[in-house]
Amino acid sequence: MADRNPEQENLFKEIDEDLRQQKYADLWKKYNKLLIGILIAMVAGVGSYKGWESYQLNLKYEESNLFSSAIKSIEASNLDVAQSILNNIKGASNSGYSILTKFNRASILSQKGYKNEAARLYLDLSQDKNIEKIYRDIAIILHALNSSKSDRIALSLTKLELLINSGSSFRYTAKELSAMLLYEMGSIEKALALYQELIDDKTAPNGTRERASEMSSVIGN
């Protein structure tokens, strides 16, 4: 077989790179939804307790009923209706329902494609010292999941590094997201290094290590 000329070689390299990037994007899209689902479930779990605690103390029937209606609308994919209901919840800034309302407002914006607005709300939550650390940590993760512009990616990487170094329970997810964002920025070697750290870390969850291995194999070849 005749050798490929340089022009053909470059074409094949471009096709191979495009295929690799598409496969990585498909994998991340799949795992992205999984991570968001887990985090939202955690927010709901902790927030529901806080909401019930607030209800018990203050008997806020209207706030409780409004939030319940909003969740039913979200489950029925009536996002505009849910958004309108959530905008009418005026609870105390650090009450359970108020915190859940903010997370769900951001989630609706993200689902509707308004990533910039969603990222901004998650950033505000991550910086709110009036709410518990677990919420702030989750907001950092969700902010990163909605970051795509270079300025937001740089900010996300800084915040994610704080989670990694602080021993947060989200440190493995933070490292995984950091690798994804670094790859998006074109820092492939740094991304591969983080994925390898996760693969080698026996304390990391099995699912995280498996994803890191799969992602690493795609961009490392």
**Residue ranges per structural domain of the chain:** 30-146, 150-221
CA of 10: how far to CAs of 70, 106, 218, 220, in Å?
53, 43, 20, 19
What 3-state DSSP class applies to 111? Answer: helix
Euclidean distance between CA atoms 161 and 142, whole angstroms: 14
Residue 93 tokens, joined: 């800034």
In 46-55, which positions are buried (b, 16+ CB within 10 angstroms) versus exposed (e)?
A: bbeebbeebb
Q: What is the DSSP letter of 195?
A: H
pLDDT of residue 218: 83
Residues of the chain with pLDDT under 70: 1-64, 67-68, 71, 75, 90-97, 221
Q: What's the maximum distance between 2 C-alpha atoms anywhere in the chain? A: 81
Please report, to the nearest 10 degrees, the dihedral formed by the alpha carbons of residues 31, 104, 77, 30 taken in order.
0
pLDDT of residue 12: 43
Q: Are 141 and 35 in contact (CB under 8 A)?
A: yes
pLDDT of residue 56: 43
